[in-house]
Amino acid sequence: MSLCPTCGNHNYLCQQCKMDDLEDRLGLPSEHFDADAGIVCWVEDLHGDWHASMYFEGSQHVSACGEIFETPVANIRHDPRRLDRAHTCDDCIARLEAEDEDDETVPDGGGFAPASELRADGGEVDIYEWVLENVHEYSAGADSRWGSRDNLVHQGRKLDGASKDDVQKAITRAVDNEDLISWHGLLSRAEIDRLREIVRIEHEEHEITRQILVGKCNKLIATKKRERAGESAEPEAAINGGETA
């Protein structure tokens, strides 16, 4: 039997090599779609429900309701809503309808109202601070205790002077700064109480605890506690040193 030229295993054992080769030649799905283009396609889950795929994270579909689906999915089509026997995700439909209302509603003044308000000092909204303040305002359909990255980006790009890239960069910076925790398209403020609640939910409400997520939370909790301890010790250290700031 022929062997895989890449890893040397039998061909039926090296599907990963074939997938890696396809990715090298064709790229990931996320490289071929604009996250702001609307519905990329509809994907079917294992229960037969159809979800609106709004954008990709690597090779994963991120649906309007916040659910994440790894490719390949059970099935895919352009729009199943016209088919009598197809059942579409209620949360996806609700999110799409809400976005349509946001895009189409015209205020009494006859023009579209800006999605943001200017700061009291007349400056533009700080996108980074807006992300932190609003991350839980646009919750994920899968779990309302998390914010949806997709929904946050969609709303944030409506800010005065902001683009989709600006919002995405602010989110990335907030995650890098450990102000936010990111988990497969979901976002949450990285505050000790919230992180502890995520850990509790993983242990008590899920049949299979996602150990990687729990580990990330516990690591952040430890970091935040050290930061608190350091902040409380700083004034005392300054006094003992004979000088104050």
How does pLDDT run across 145-155, given as a tens digit for each residue? 888 888 898 88
pLDDT of residue 55: 76
Longest dimension (CA), the chain: 79
Q: Considering only residues 119 and 173, tell me which one the structure prediction assigns the higher pLDDT.
A: 173
- Which among 114, 103, 180, 186 has a CA at the least distance from the CA of 151? 186
Look at residue 171 and tell me if it is in a domain.
Answer: yes
How does pLDDT run across 106-154, given as a tens digit for each residue? 444 443 333 344 343 444 568 999 999 999 988 876 677 888 888 898 8
Kindly report whether the global pTM for this prediction surpasses the value 0.75: no
Regarding whether 202 and 163 lie in a shared domain, the answer is no
Regarding whether 195 and 180 lie in a shared domain, the answer is no
Separation of alpha carbons 170 and 90, rounded Å? 30
Q: Examine the pLDDT at 200 and tell me if it is beyond 80.
A: yes
With the CA atoms of 97, 99, 102 and 104 taken in that order, what torsion angle do they form, in degrees rounded to the nearest 10? -70
pLDDT of residue 119: 42
Look at residue 3 and tell me if it is in a domain.
Answer: no
What sign for the dihedral angle of Cα 95, 100, 101, 107?
Answer: positive
Question: Hey, what are 127's tokens?
Answer: 């996108």
Burial label, 192 (beta-carbon count in 10 A; 0-12, 13-18, 19+): middle
Q: pLDDT category, 164, cuts 50, 70, 90?
A: confident
Look at residue 115 and tell me if it is in a domain.
Answer: no
Checking DSSP bridges between strand 60-63 and strand 41-44, what pairing results, if any? unpaired
1-10, 96-105, 194-203, 233-242: range with lowest mean pLDDT: 233-242
18-32, 55-69, 153-167: range with lowest mean pLDDT: 18-32
Look at residue 26 and tell me if it is in a domain.
Answer: no
The secondary structure of the chain in percent helix, strand, coil, rounded to multiples of 5, reads 45, 20, 40
Domain total for the chain?
3
Look at residue 17 and tell me if it is in a domain.
Answer: no
Residue-range definition of the domain harbouring residue 79: 35-99
How does pLDDT run across 59-94, given as a tens digit for each residue? 778 888 878 888 777 777 777 776 777 788 888 888
SS3 166: helix
Contacts of 126 (CB under 8 A, 6+ apart): 119
Is residue 136 within 8 A of residue 147, CB to CB? The reply is: yes
Look at residue 24 and tell me if it is in a domain.
Answer: no
In the block, tokens 């799409």 appear at 96
